[in-house]
Structure 1
């Protein structure tokens, strides 16, 4: 062989080329690391923006939506923390669990221990907590799409989520539907979408289980998602034995213990809830709608001007997103089989829809900016109107009731709310043991076909009911609160008993039935 000269040996050309490629690869890795750092910074900025938007969102929602946002959360929490507050018939029937109200009861107790349990803090702090959780959910939805697609598509989904009028209207309210939706987004982030390596079975199943504990119907959109995961999972036995069963047992066990502490007995509220609303379908007591309501009214109104973008996105989106569309379709179909229908019931599938809306915006090319501007403006108007104007009287009237707590004659005050039952909040928005009463409307669980609740009896003959109920003047309330539509019918009672109007409060521009455009407060004059 050839003898090489002493000293540093020469490298063959192939070795030199390999070294050059390795240097370029290292430089590429370094360059790739920079966008990662930028992405982290971008995520922090988006998180800060989301928190700022949702806090503003919270401040600009001053209207009532449905009674459950107070009566199934804050009112229960007030009773847990301060030992007084009204529990509705659902709690007597063990249809609701204490897990969700416990969050707010903990906040109330902390404020009490700090000596800061002012009524305004009791009203706003729970909603601010809900707002911050909503902001984190917005960011999780962005991160999910960024992982599955790219940062550009993720930003359009994030934009659609932030400017959705119904999300604005609902996400800072203390509703079980709101927490169900937020937990669904968090769970979706960890769900193993086909082709994704980010999923975590234990994490997403834990979050789904928590959502089901809070509201059992949270299981509905997750049924097709779980079966899709199960069919794709290679280690099916491990998924069931090492994830589903342990997560289910631990979550259910915690829920049982919490309810055992506050009910004083062992009870499975989730089963009772499903029996009442699904098997017995007794929710029809609160109204019924045709089977197509969600298709013709519910989903189009909840989506608003996002609807055409949702349809466009469904056409364009890759096949792996079909499971999201299946979850939306399945949920709407299941809820369509139940007679009692509400917009908030399908709120948990709205984030799924935003994924398709964002995908649509991203692919509009030259029309992106115009479409984005259209979405922003068209959602801003209904968001502000429903958040600041429509049905605000139910909350504004409680400010007048709060003033009675500061009055030296508080012990003699008696407030009677003559409105459709649960129209206003109660002790959670007064925070003093004021004597208060409202018209009751529990459903009949005995099967008595001739049953009529107190509210219906009252509205069938308001004047006769009042004369009979308060035939003794010593039983008369000091304050009467009712909608304007009732005033003329009971005017003779008000004049005879010496009541005087002290406040007129705007409620809505679209009065319907028993709900008037204004709320009146009458005070009994001193004789």
Structure 2
């Protein structure tokens, strides 16, 4: 069934409907519900490499005159916000946080910058982009396969527990996955489209700007396009190079403005994480981890359908399989591994899952029901229960902002005695009270005796407390810690 819409057509969106409702509207509503039902924390980067940076970009000025008028009791720093070591070393780009900073600035100008809106609206934006990616994935499957395969690919995408868990989070990986799907919708899988390649190349370039490792996913696809292209020189000189140059120039300009100096973030990112392998500081896994554990968890109950789909469509979609396999292999060479790193290939896997369900025929409904049920349980648990305490405590601490505004003495001072970056920071409080946490920057100078603050604390908590707070007058008013440490 189709619902004609010139607006959808102008935006390149399909006009198909689902249960009598436009596919676009259904996707938007679904992802907004998804956004509201994910109330847990995943990884620190969800806040510290996005919202905290955005908050500091907009509100990170010297404290206002009201605060300065109480300078006699001022116990918090004169800058409102916090930058992790990555931003001091210039290995992160401001392009992605700028997206949320624009939202924050608009709210600030409208005097609507409540902490609730500052937390919610960036995730709503991410949810809307995820909905757009869902619709585009349907469109991809319809163009590359048929409407039936598109319907089941869309079903698999919406069923995926890991997509539910990640897609609406303010992670660069989530944006990378979204941009990958959007770019793929313009990718010339069959035949050449030199004159129109700038669309998908622009989106690929944006993905690389957001997260340089996005190039790993796209390398086989770019090489495949170049190999099939009749006029290779024209593709490179008139499409590829201009798009990449313009995108990179804009990215460098943004970073230079906010860093206040010349900074080539993409090179710094690769240098620290690939050449110097600084990421090892945050944990390592064996080379086979993605193959033996990581990919199995991310794809979850979809695995048998993915394998079946690979058997059915390996020849006609070999470039997609090459991209998936290459990504898993390439990331396996990096010592530091995380589930979210391979999230951008998950939508590609859904295409094969959709192809599988189309071929099952008589087993299709039981298989679809099992797929839905088996994904529902982990989706609800990880979205509503797992690691929600670190967000709940920030909600409890928001009342300290009211205490500060009432000018009561002493000023609130919160100490987080937990692994570094366990909780969000100022983006979830939106007031300049004094906050301190255990820092854990890696050793960038090669000091053999280096020990980061968190390790020093956990080695001897009482000694650290006596050293850090020699006078009782400097003790924090509130301490946040996990229950085992209290024991």
Q: Does TM, normalized by the shorter one, top 0.5?
A: yes
Q: CA separation in 1, counterparts of 2:135 and 2:2?
A: 18
Deviation at 1:144, TM superposition (A): 0.9
Distance in 2 of aligned mates of 1:52 and 1:101: 25
Q: Answer yes or no: is 1:430 the counterpart of 2:407.
A: no
Q: For the residues of structure 2 that align with 1:318 and 1:450, how far apart are their CA atoms?
A: 52
User: Are positions 1:50 and 2:46 aligned together?
Assistant: no
- Report the equivalent of 1:201: 197
1:285 and 1:40 mapped to 2: Cα distance? Answer: 48
Structure 2 residue 477 is the aligned partner of structure 1 residue 478: yes
- Mapping of 1:379-390 within 5 angstroms? 379-390=375-386
Match of 1:301 among 289, 297, 300: 297
Quick one: distance in 1 between partners of 2:422 and 2:314?
Answer: 45
Contact 2:192–2:230 under 8 Å retained in 1: no
* Alpha-carbon distance between aligned partners in 2 of 1:40 and 1:443, rounded to the nearest angstrom: 50
Question: Is residue 121 of structure 2 the alignment partner of residue 130 of structure 1?
Answer: no
1:494 paired residue number: none
Which residue of the partner structure matches residue 245 of structure 1? Answer: 241
Q: Using the alignment, how far apart are the partners of 1:198 and 1:240 within structure 2?
A: 9
* Partner Cα distance (1:231, 1:424) in 2: 47
Contact 1:224–1:323 (8 Å) recurs in 2:
yes
The secondary structure found in structure 2 opposite 1:182 is helix
Counting only pairs closer than 5 Å after superposition, residues 281-296 of structure 1 correspond to structure 2 as 281-296=277-292
Determine the C-alpha separation between the residues in 2 that align with 1:323 and 1:454.
47
2:317 is matched with: 321
Contact 2:181 2:347 (C-alpha < 8 Å) held by counterparts: yes
1:79 maps to which residue? Answer: 56
What is the aligned partner in structure 1 of residue 458 from structure 2? 459
The alignment partner of 1:422 has SS state of coil
Pick 1 or 2: higher relative contact order, CA cutoff 8 A, min separation 6.
Answer: 2
TM-score where L is the length of structure 1 = 0.84
The structure having more radius of gyration, on CA atoms, is: 1
Rounded Cα–Cα distance in structure 2 between residues aligned with 1:429 and 1:229: 44
Q: Please list every run of 5 or more consecutive structure 2 residues that lacks an aligned counterpart in the other structure.
A: 6-13, 61-79
Work out the number of aligned pairs and report it: 455
Find the partner of 1:225 among 221, 234, 254. Answer: 221
- The residue number in structure 1 matching 2:63 is none
Q: 1:398 to 1:233 in 2, by over 3 A?
A: same
Give the Cα separation in 1 of the matches to 2:411 and 2:3. Answer: 66
Q: Deviations over 1:316-349 (max 9, x none)?
A: 0152211001000000000000100000000000
Please tell me whether residue 370 in structure 1 is matched to residue 361 in structure 2. no
1:234 match: secondary structure: coil
Which residue in the other structure is 1:344 paired with?
Answer: 340
Runs (5+) with no aligned partner, structure 1: 1-33, 489-527
Residue aligned with 2:430, SS = coil
CA distance in 2 between partners of 1:145 and 1:199 (Å): 23
Question: CA deviation digits over 1:112-171, x for unaligned, max 9?
Answer: 111110000000000001001000100000001111111110000000000100000000
Alpha-carbon contact 1:411-1:434 (below 8 Å) kept: no
**1:417 alignment partner, SS class:** strand
Aligned to 2:251: 255
- Give the conservation status (yes or no) of the 8 Å contact 1:190–1:198: no
Q: Is 1:163 aligned with 2:140?
A: no
Cα distance, 1:195–1:373 mapped onto 2, change above 3 Å: farther
SS at 2:152's partner residue? helix
2:331 paired residue among 331, 335, 343: 335
Query: What is the CA distance between 1:450 and its match in structure 2?
Result: 2.0
Task: Report whether the alignment pairs 1:279 with 2:279.
Answer: no
Classify 1:140/1:198 alpha carbon distance in 2 versus 1 (closer, same or farther; 3 Å): farther
**Are the equivalent residues in 1 in contact too, given 2:165–2:382 (CA < 8 A)?**
yes
- Deviations 1:275-307 (CA, angstroms, capped at 9, x unpaired): 111111111000000000000100000000000
Alignment match, 2:140 = 144
In structure 2, distance between residues paired with 1:57 and 1:410: 42
Equivalent in the alignment of 2:260 = 264
What's 1:40 paired with? Answer: 15
Asked if structure 2 preserves the Cα contact closer than 8 Å seen for 1:410 and 1:434, the reply is no
Structure 2 partner of 1:3: none
After TM superposition, which residue ranges in structure 1, 4 or more long, deviate above 6 angstroms?
A: 196-199
| Aligned Cα root-mean-square deviation (Å) | 1.6
What is the CA–CA distance in structure 2 between the aligned matches of 1:449 and 1:386, rounded to whole Å? 39
Tell me the CA shift for residue 35 of structure 1: 6.6
CA–CA distance in 2 between the matches of 1:318 and 1:369? 24
